[in-house]
Amino acid sequence: MLDLSKKRYRLRIVIPAYPAFNVYSRIARKTTALGPVCVASVVNKMERWDVEVIDENNLRRYGPISDSGGADHEFLQRQRPADAVGFYGGLTSTIPRLYRIARFYKNKGVVTIAGGQHFVEDNIAEALACGIDYLVIGEGEETIKELLSAMEGKQDVSKIKGIAYLNNGEIIRTPKREPLMDFGKFPLPDFPLVRYARIKIYPVGRVRGCGMDCEFCTVKGKPRYASPERLLECMSFLLETKGARSFFIVDDLFGQRRDETIRFCNMLRDYQKSIGTSMDITVQIRLDKAKDPELLSAMRQAGINTVAIGFESPIKEELKAMNKHLRPEDMLSFAKTFHKFGFLVHGMFIWGYPLKEDVNLQIPVKERIKRIKNFIKKAKLDTVQVLLPVPLPGTELRHRLEKQNRMYPIQDVGWEYYDGNFPLFEPDEPMSTEQMQASIKKIMGKFYQFKYILMIGLNIFSFPALVFFFHNIRLGWERWYRPWRNYLLRFGGWITMREWASELKKDKFSQKLQKAKEHLKMTKTGMPD
């Protein structure tokens, strides 16, 4: 409970640092997570509360950094004492860091709150034993207001829906809170609340939920929508007040509720024309939206330049296991259509997806690597990301692997390895865990190479050729810019992979993996651990 004699209180929301350098580290220095900003924006309207967000992955404006990485919370608490601290648990790989910071604040008598996709039913007891006073289950905008009011003594905490906490050592789980439907009643995301961050790419969103039901995904449920007007208002406000030009629309699938999406694109197009400027927007979208030329045309006119598409795999057996309703033979033609409309295509793949028991895939590892390399080349993808399957808490994939007794014990392979770069379960035969991890480096190593620094130079020398496109400057610019941009990113990707490989050598994952294998083998043979 808070000191009720105080006139004002402070809530600090912390986005924990990644456990080590990975493929997300560079982009994280340019952006932040939208969810914590939305929650903080709601608290900022409360009468007696001040609020700040600390993104430990983006401390580029005088951020106090500790010797071990992340923010210096001793300094923060000394300079601006927080009465309550909230933690963003949206990324499972950051959970060990989250627990360490939570214990630090709890030992200082600060109320600790956590929420995010990691905290499903199976992890509630773990969190409450690791320094968390209150868990917010589900969306947090309404819950956080009621919880902070309860801390002020204004209401009974047991009456708040969607939370879990300890009472005399017993876990109390209150009734589930219904999903939010009316997003218009909440304030727009207030990004200046993120202290120390230098944000270049602003995350915004209109849709929560996804009906695709992929086995490996934590985002489930019927999609719920804010109005196109609200999203436009958010983006225009950021452009006019912060000079924001680059946006990432975080909706899991852009294009849901098609007519409203097209209306939003048309509104955004007209807005940019009226003020004489342009935006650079990235969205996530289904590959089969290539069959909707009206939607693609509206997107391009609105300034949507990059599409991130989950191709996942060009192997039909793996697609079936993922519950992905795609046919490999259609993928190349769909990718060609996106390129035809002028989009930059970022392809996302999952390597080594575990097949279901009734599926037998007799393809050697080398042949599978060859297939995905050939597919990436034929699809002419601009950038790619290849990750290993991550059996996240609460997903059907995790439940299936646990049932098959293939999961490596969490006490051996900790949550910090749940970022898509490490094997976390026994792979399908004949693939080994070593092959599984090495394969993603082989695939991306073919795509991201040092040689592209030379291509950058050659492309610069070709710039004067734009003189031949005076009749259509935009077409000439696009033809020159695309390869230049891709060469730059491919060389940058090579640097990122080198840094990641260097960090991997320092890590003790291989020893932990060997221990996990032994424990799993004991479990299968019935031997005592």
Phi, psi dihedrals of residue 218, rounded to the nearest 5°: -90, -15
Same domain, 243 and 130: no
Tens-digit pLDDT profile for residues 517-527: 999 988 877 65
CA distance 489 to 453: 10
Which residue, 512, 364, 368, is CA-closest to 429?
364
CA distance 366 to 410: 30
Residue 53 CB partners (closer than 8 Å, separation 6+): 12, 13, 14, 15, 32, 36, 37, 40, 193, 194, 195
Percent of the chain whose predicted confidence (pLDDT) is above 90: 72
Residue 344 CB partners (closer than 8 Å, separation 6+): 305, 306, 307, 382, 383, 482, 485
Q: Residue 397, exposed/middle/buried by CB under 10 A (0-12, 13-18, 19+)?
A: buried
Same domain, 516 and 431: no
How many domains would you assign to the chain? 3
Residue 440 forms part of a structural domain: yes
How confident is the model over 261-270, as a mean pLDDT? 98
Tens-digit pLDDT profile for residues 75-105: 999 999 999 999 999 999 999 999 999 999 9
Residue 339, both tokens: 């390129």
Same domain, 167 and 265: no
- Residue ending a domain, choose from 446, 470, 495: 446
- Give the Å distances, CA to CA, from 293 to 16, 143, 186, 282, 302: 41, 41, 34, 18, 14
Structural domain for 522, as ranges: 448-529
How confident is the model over 56-73, as a mean pLDDT? 94
At residue 295, the pLDDT reads 98
Same domain, 127 and 18: yes
Same domain, 130 and 164: yes
Residue 369, both tokens: 């690597």
Residue 471 forms part of a structural domain: yes
Same domain, 219 and 158: no
Torsion-angle region of residue 342: left (phi > 0), alpha (psi -120 to 50) or beta? Answer: left
**Whole-model pTM over 0.75:** yes
Same domain, 109 and 225: no
Residue 333 forms part of a structural domain: yes
Tens-digit pLDDT profile for residues 122-153: 899 999 999 999 999 999 999 999 999 999 99
Same domain, 459 and 421: no
- Give the Å distances, CA to CA, from 92 to 12, 150, 316: 20, 28, 29
At residue 466, the pLDDT reads 46
Q: Residue 462 above 90 pLDDT?
A: no
Residue 183 forms part of a structural domain: no
Instruction: Tell the residue number behind the tokens 């999406």, with chain if given.
Output: 261
How confident is the model over 326-345, as a mean pLDDT? 92
Residue 179 forms part of a structural domain: no
Residue 318, both tokens: 């793996």
How confident is the model over 414-423, as a mean pLDDT? 94
Which DSSP string do the residues of 418-451 spell out, in sequence order?
-SSSS--BPPPTT--HHHHHHHHHHHHHHHS-TT
Tens-digit pLDDT profile for residues 21-39: 676 788 899 999 999 999 9
Same domain, 453 and 306: no
The per-residue pLDDT of the chain, averaged, comes to 91
